Amino acid sequence: MLSLEQRIKAFEILGRFISQTKDARADEDLQKLNRHFLKEYHTCIQDAALFNHWFTPENLDFALGEWSNALNPDQLQAWLIDYDSDYFDHDREQKTVAIIMAGNIPLVGFHDLLSVLISGHKALIKPSSDDAKLIPFICQMLVAINPEFAKQMAFAEGQMKNFDAVIATGSDNSARYFESYFGKYPHIIRKNRSSVAVLSGEESVEDLELLGEDIFRFFGLGCRNVSKVYVPQDFKIQRLFEAFYKFKYVGDHNKYGNNYDYNRAIYLMEHHDFLENGFFIIKENEALHAPVSVLHYERYTDVATLKANLNQLESEIQCLVSKMETFDTAVALGESQKPRLWDYADNVDTLEFLRKL
């Protein structure tokens, strides 16, 4: 089995390789890889965009760029430093972990794969049909970087079997199936979650433009996308329209535009009160989750009460975005789609789960 140093080195090289979304790098470690795989890599990115129209070239570049930033030695070491070094001992028993991936945004299942492999376990991978190009190619690259990874990865075809634990990500409906089928195994099963933002009303135009990145990146399809904003009683909603105008390009995307037209038509027919500007809808609503092209908002009068209410909704919230000091664990505006390696989905420590197997 690979040592921890070998695993870290492989992922660090992978990070440098996937940074080449447009231009090749003059990198000694990458020269051989580039000769054999760089053209195929660029073709894979193009195929991913053609196969899943939500995966636009811009969003693919963003996702790959963020993963490239994360897979550097400093980030990897900072992620692993809080865990007992014996945990990563290459002489201990390996377990096979079935990974059932989502496909709502590019490479959303990669963190689970990284966690299993960096822990020294074996991965039985079930990619989402919506992300069927990138994940297999990434695995191919890991094997090219170090052939020992071929012993640690396999792709599931048909019914999954011969595994020791499960990490599965899906909707509330699929989670019920996962619980029924995989409940007897050690497992992490993730359901629907939404992200929210809290504004003080003192935010600048630049701050609100950053919030737009949290809302519109990946067309709002990720669980870390802000789908609801809490604003003070006297907050002028028009400020959001003005700040978000720079994101009007999302309305030109066919799938997003269809969602916008559909939701607007439904709200009109049902006589709902809402505001819209030609590419997105703002609607006052207590629900955390909003459909694609819709942003919910709710007014508050007391910050302490709001914080207490949000604490009660913790199991439904993926992340909270704010620059208010009251919310000391909040993600900074514009940063929700840039999670660090230790920002675990649903706040469940994946490495700790794997350590206990």
CATH number of the domain bearing residue 281:
3.40.309.10
Note the pLDDT tens digit of each residue in 194-228.
999 999 999 999 999 999 999 999 999 999 999 99
Q: Which amino acid is at 134?
A: L
Residue 2 is predicted with a pLDDT of: 87
Last residue in a domain, options 156, 172, 192: 192
Q: Are 297 and 275 in contact (CB under 8 A)?
A: no
Residue 90: the pLDDT is 62
Query: pLDDT at position 86, please?
Result: 73
Copy the structure tokens of residue 90.
């290459």
Query: Is 347 a domain residue?
Result: no
Q: Both 186 and 230 in a single domain? A: no
pLDDT of 83 reads 87
| CATH number of the domain where residue 91 is located | 3.40.605.10
Q: Are residues 188 and 203 in the same domain?
A: no
Q: What is the pLDDT of residues 307-334, one digit of tens each?
A: 999 999 999 999 999 999 999 999 999 9
Q: Do 185 and 249 belong together in one domain?
A: no
Distance between alpha carbon 51 and the CA centroid of its chain, in Å?
A: 19
Same domain, 199 and 154: no
Say if residue 225 is in the same domain as residue 188.
no
The contacts found for 282-285 with CB under 8 angstroms, 24 or more apart, are 282/237, 282/240, 282/241, 285/228
Residue 92's pLDDT is 73
pLDDT given at position 100: 97
Q: What is the mean pLDDT of the chain?
A: 95
Q: How many beta carbons lie within 10 A of that of residue 100, not counting itself?
A: 23
Which domain-ending residue is among 176, 192, 208?
A: 192
354 in any annotated domain:
no
d(CA 115, CA 354): 8
**What is the extent of the structural domain holding 270?**
194-321
- 152-211, pLDDT tens digit by residue? 999 998 889 999 999 999 988 898 999 999 999 999 999 999 999 999 999 999 999 999
Residue 51 tokens, joined: 């196969």
pLDDT in tens, 65-122: 999 999 999 999 999 998 877 777 766 789 999 999 999 999 999 999 999 999 999 9
- Whether 169 and 70 share a structural domain: yes
In terms of domains, do 135 and 40 share one?
yes
pLDDT of residue 350: 97
Other CB atoms within a 10 A radius of the CB of residue 269 amount to 8
pLDDT score, position 23: 82
Q: Tell whether 260 is covered by a domain.
A: yes
Is the CA virtual torsion 207, 245, 343, 18 positive or negative? Answer: negative
Question: Cα–Cα distance between 23 and 65 in angstroms, integer?
Answer: 13
Order of all β-strands in the sheet with 153-155: 153-155, 122-126, 96-100, 165-169, 187-190
Residue 331 is assigned to a structural domain of this protein: no
Measure the CA–CA gap between 62 and 105, rounded to whole angstroms.
11
- Evaluate whether residue 278 is within a structural domain: yes
On whether residue 335 sits in a domain, the answer given is no
Is residue 13 in a domain? yes
- pLDDT (0 to 100) of residue 159: 86
Q: What is the pLDDT of residue 194?
A: 96
Residues 251 and 297 in one domain: yes
Q: What average pLDDT does range 113-133 have in this prediction? A: 96
Asked whether residue 144 falls in the same domain as residue 280, the answer is no
Enter the tokens of residue 283: 């609607």
DSSP string of 189-220? EE---EEEEE--S---HHHHHHHHHHHHGGGG
Decide: 163 and 98 in contact? Cβ < 8 Å.
Answer: yes
Whole-angstrom Cα distance, residue 46 to residue 52? 10
Contact 137, 41 (CB under 8 A): yes
Is residue 49 a part of any domain in this protein?
Answer: yes
3-state secondary structure 53-69: CCCCHHHHHHHHHHHHH
Helix runs in 202-269, H state only: 205-216, 238-244, 254-269
Question: Residue 99's beta-bridge partner residues?
Answer: 125, 167
pLDDT of residue 22: 82
- Range with lowest mean pLDDT among 19-23, 35-39, 283-287: 19-23
Please report the pLDDT score of residue 27 as a whole number.
81
Domain count, the chain: 2
Q: Tell me: the pLDDT tens digits for 260-293? A: 999 999 999 999 999 999 999 999 999 999 999 9
Q: How far apart are CA 49 and CA 130, in angstroms?
A: 10
